[in-house]
Amino acid sequence: MKDWLFYPLFALIAGSMIFFAWSRGEAPAPISAAQGFELKGPDLQRLTAAPGTTLSFAGDYSYAILSADFTSDVQKSAGVFVLLDSRYSEVLAGKDLKITIRARAGSDKPSERFMITFLPHTTGKIRWQTFEPTQEFQDYSVTTTLGPYLKDLPEIYFGVWPDKDGRGGTLEVAKYEIKVVR
Alpha helices in 28-153 (DSSP H): 86-92
Residue 16 lies in a domain: no
The b-or-e profile of 148-180 (16+ CB within 10 A means b, else e) is: ebeeebbebbbbbbbbbebebbbbbbbbbbbbb
Q: Does any domain span residue 17?
A: no
Number of structural domains found in the chain: 1
Position 92 in a domain = yes
Residue 102 and residue 149 in contact, taking contact as beta carbons nearer than 8 Å: no
Render pLDDT for 52-64 as a digit per residue (tens, 0 to 9): 889 999 989 999 9
Range of the domain at 98: 31-180
pLDDT in tens, 123-163: 545 578 899 999 999 999 988 877 776 666 667 778 898 98
* pTM of the complete model: 0.76
